Amino acid sequence: MAWTAPRTWTPNEVVTAAIMNTHVKDNLIDLDSRLGAQIHAWGHYSFSGGTPTEDGAYNMDTPTDNGTGETTCNFTANTADPDYAAAPSSDNSNQKHVYCRNFNAGSVQVRTEDATGTLVDLSFTIVVVT
């Protein structure tokens, strides 16, 4: 779908499926096609009992649980080389933090720690690779 200039909505306007498809859905599809070329992979993982489960992903395979606080995110298609950026995020409760290491063409490892540096499993982790 091609990009459509954003609509100026008016008060009391009846919003139809055609309007929403043209000005919202189609534009989101267009943005996704543009960003997809720049984002190599992303994954959203939840953890239950320490086991990672994929909740959504693009170019990410099943994660590998390496033990408490360590998960390897495996790409379905390798990067051109291991010189890429990976931005992790998580439920930053109780001053916990998350970071990436061990950058490989086919995977990246995500570690989650508490404020003392002890490895812990968080409720979810999101990783974006460019």
Domain boundaries along the sequence of the chain: 41-129
Length, in residues, of the chain: 130
* pLDDT confidence of residue 1: 64
pTM for this prediction: 0.67
H helices, E strands: number in the chain: 2, 8
d(CA 88, CA 56) in angstroms, rounded, equals: 15
Question: What pLDDT does residue 101 have?
Answer: 92
Strands 86-90, 51-58: parallel, antiparallel or unpaired by DSSP?
unpaired
> What is the predicted pLDDT for the residue at 109?
93
At 124 the pLDDT is 78
* DSSP-based three-state secondary structure for 30: helix
Residue with tokens 């010189």: 83
Question: Are 44 and 124 within 8 A, CB to CB?
Answer: yes
Instruction: Using pLDDT thresholds of 50, 70 and 90, give the confidence band for residue 27.
Output: confident
